[in-house]
Amino acid sequence: MTLLHIAILIPFLSVPLIPLLYKYTHRVHTGWFVMVIPLVLFIFFASYFSFEQPLEPFIHSVPWIPSLNIHFSIYLDSLSLLFALLITGIGALVVFYSIFYMSKDREKLHLFYAYLMLFMGAMLGSVLSDNLLVLYAFWELTSVSSFLLIAFWYHRKRSRYGAQKSMFITMSGGFSMLLGFIILYVASGTFSIRELIALGDQVSQHSLFILAMFLILLGAFTKSAQFPFHIWLPDAMEAPTPISAYLHSATMVKAGVYLVARLTPVFGGHYEWFWTITIIGLITLLIGSLMAIRQSDLKALLAFSTISQIGLIMCLLGIGSMALNDPNSSSSLLFAGATLAAIFHLINHSIFKGCLFMMIGILDHETGTRDIRRLGGLIHVMPVSFTLTMIGAFSMAGLPPFSGFLSKEMFFSGVLTTSRTMDSWLVFIPIIAWVASIFTFIYCMILIFKVFIGPYKPIPLERKPHEAPLGMLISPMILAALVVILFFFPNVIASSLLEPAVQAILPQAFANGEEWHVHISAWHGFNTELLMTFGVVILGTLLYKYLNTFRNIYENIPLRFSLNQVYDNGLAGMERIAGKITKFYMTGSTTHYLSYLFAFLIVIVGGSLFFQNIFILDISNNAPIEPYEFMLGLTVAAAAIFMIFTKSRLISIIAVSVIGFIVSLFFVIFRAPDLALTQLVVETISTALFLLCFYFLPKVSKYVTTMKFRISNAIISIGVGLTLTLIGLLTQGHHLFDPISEYYKNSYNLAGAKNMVNSILVDFRAFDTMLEIVVLFAAGVGIFTLIKLRHAGRKDQ
């Protein structure tokens, strides 16, 4: 196991240690100990980064389940290194910020930091895994850990709702993604992403290639909150602000972006990939920016801005994938510029959005509210907060001298590439992108002018506003400084990080060795991109001036048409349907339940006998039936018939026991004394228990004596008897599958057992028993937790 494997496991190993630290170090905030983990990991990953030359990709693999071709393989290149640096770097700043934001007296910090480290480890595993199934395991772990983080204030109804919503949507998409991974394995015979890229032509020829593509994109879109799955992200804002700053700036919503970027060498160049990602990204960009304007809650505004910005990045990745449509064409590198813009804006978004989330947390912490309608004039009492918020908001709006301006100009260049190099009618792509950018400008101005400029309103606020303590300001200060530094010195990371990351996404476009050097500058002359920026500022300013009039349009949109309403109604409808179905068959009658089971057996098993056309009965090789065997069989039949017509419970039980005891004689005749002994013991005990139970049962209901009851029971009994008899007879001459006994013939080689039966019971069935014990243990822990940690009298908020 390498240091990279250990780096992924360190956050997981810290999870059980954090509660111990919390328990025995009450005088010190637990965050001071936890911050060491992301800080050390950031330094570790930063050691792979060099300003002089890009990272040489390498892979380390540890066998996990070799028989299934599953290995814990870590692949580190510039793309995965970029994400690892964002995950650990922003993570360290978030932990430092939370030390001053989260009260060590009122909050359960051991759970907070344990969940945070669990999420960090899952994200690192997702972006560094080369094996698709290992990636999927970490991917779903991010959904579970984010559920715990979003529901951290679980006593609030909205927190539980947001956590359930995010988990339901993202894990449903994750399951879809798993199906896509399995299809890729069927097409290629490997789970390795590196090997899939190498087998690109072979994989693309598979008949289910396009299906796998859409299933995987479904997983990416749900995780990155793309339309129409974006509805989970605003409700996730119920989490504490440090969580929102981490999950929705640099980590969880970027997981889908990473998946699309990583698998572009496999699917890129196909029009289905290009159109799906580009159109969904554009729609998400536009809807997110439109919805952000109508929000009165600052975190909700940032949530929809995140949706919009991730849509922008997705759109650029979709456009950039066309560089692989014809890698040798002159337009290939132009499309690669769109991918470059996506990666650069991803970095910028992580920085300025992390800064903005932290500043919103400070405003909430120091004023007691996030309601824009109750805020205003805070520049007079919170000048530092105003400055940091302004830097982040202007960068998000794409204004100089902030790094967001550079990536926004590159975004305009990327969308213009589609109409310039493909078809002129694709001009709708840059038009929609430009319109969305106008609304982005508007909500950025709302964030600044509605909160900090204008008359000061101290009366309606819950707390007297004042500047935040220095410790809470340090993290957003660092991020704001990076926003400015990257504007003036963007080429510091251009050749060492951005350029190799693009080459990792589009390896085929650079396979011919053509020179391509990245140089980012703020001035390119008076071109179309600059004119689009001027238009954004001018029209955005005019619309902001008439914002109240513009907002009235939203009031005329019926709520029943919203996706949230569709989601809620869908869940409620499923609950109603499930309730009706459950009431229909859950009658409380054991007779009804047994009838359902036996009817299912007759229809499914018996029906399959007809559809499979296996009525082949060959008795030529059967041993002759001896007279005593014939007599025993008649005795069994007579006892069964006698049991049906008797009116005494006691006699019917005795008749059943006669059948069981005679069956044990058959085992003796067929030289199976161990089975005969087992049969005798079980039959004796069950007969005694039946007699004991039936003694205390009430008298037979009049219903069981009705003709309807008797006829239905007779039909089911005859059907089950015929089905099982046919199965017993037909198995002699027909096999749908190879008999499982062939596998157990190797019991000596597989398990070292000379007795096949003992081997099955002891060695092979041990796995089943082990899983049963795990299930019982999990259930026991759950029951213990419900009893131990119940909160009597606690009300939802």
DSSP conformation letters of 280-310: HHHHHHHHHHHHHHT--BHHHHHHHHHHHHH
Tell me the torsion sign for CA atoms 514, 515, 520, 526. negative
- Higher pLDDT residue, 555 or 286? 286
Q: What is the pLDDT of residue 793?
A: 47
Q: What is the pLDDT of residue 52?
A: 79
Quick one: average pLDDT of 475-498? 92
User: Quick one: pLDDT band at residue 35, thresholds 50, 70, 90?
Assistant: very high
Residue 400 has pLDDT above 50, yes or no: yes
Q: Model pTM?
A: 0.81
Residue 26 has pLDDT above 80, yes or no: no
DSSP collapsed to 3 states, 386-416 = HHHHHHHHHHHHCCCCCHHHHHHHHHHHHHH
User: Quick one: pLDDT band at residue 172, thresholds 50, 70, 90?
Assistant: very high
Q: What is the pLDDT of residue 104?
A: 79
Tens digit of pLDDT for each residue in 294-327?
888 899 999 999 999 999 999 999 999 998 887 7
Tokens read off for 745: 């013939």
How far is the C-alpha of 523 from the C-alpha of 404, rounded, in Å?
14
Looking at every residue in the chain, the average pLDDT score rounds to 86
Element (H, E) at 620: none
Q: Closest Cα partner for 255 from 161, 346, 385, 163? A: 346
Quick one: average pLDDT of 479-491? 93
Tens digit of pLDDT for each residue in 652-674?
888 889 988 998 988 888 888 88
Q: What is the pLDDT of residue 702?
A: 57
- Higher pLDDT residue, 703 or 19? 19
Tokens read off for 63: 């066998």
Q: What is the pLDDT of residue 617?
A: 67
Burial class (CB within 10 angstroms; exposed 0-12, middle 13-18, buried 19+) of 255: buried
Q: Locate tokens 């992390």: which residue?
A: 354
Contact 393, 447 (CB under 8 A): yes
Q: What is the pLDDT of residue 545?
A: 87
Q: What is the pLDDT of residue 349?
A: 93
User: Quick one: pLDDT band at residue 797, thresholds 50, 70, 90?
Assistant: very low
Element (H, E) at 63: strand 58-65
Tokens read off for 629: 């065997």
Residue 532 has pLDDT above 90, yes or no: yes
User: Quick one: pLDDT band at residue 558, thresholds 50, 70, 90?
Assistant: low
Q: Which residues contact 372 (CB under 8 A, 6 or more apart)?
A: 295, 296, 297, 298, 301, 446, 450, 451
Q: Which residues contact 222 (CB under 8 A, 6 or more apart)?
A: 169, 170, 172, 173, 174, 176, 229, 256
- Cα 113 to Cα 109, 117, 733: the distances in Å are 6, 6, 63
Tens digit of pLDDT for each residue in 91-121?
999 999 999 998 877 788 889 999 999 999 9
Q: What is the pLDDT of residue 115?
A: 93
Residue 791 has pLDDT above 60, yes or no: no
Q: Closest Cα partner for 429 from 312, 289, 565? A: 312
Tens digit of pLDDT for each residue in 701-753?
555 567 777 788 888 888 888 888 888 777 766 666 677 777 777 777 777 77
Q: What is the pLDDT of residue 136?
A: 95
Picking from 63-67, 236-240, 388-392, which range would have the lowest pLDDT averaged per residue? 63-67
Quick one: average pLDDT of 338-360? 93
Helix (H), strand (E) counts: the chain: 36, 2
Phi-psi region of 33 (alpha: psi -120 to 50; beta: other; left: phi over 0): alpha
Residue % of the chain over a pLDDT of 90? 43
Tens digit of pLDDT for each residue in 116-171?
999 999 999 999 999 999 999 999 999 999 999 999 988 888 898 999 999 999 99
Contact 463, 368 (CB under 8 A): yes
* Peptide linkage before 66 cis (omega within 30 of 0): no
**The dihedral formed by the CA atoms of 285, 398, 347 and 270, expressed in degrees to the nearest 10:** 40
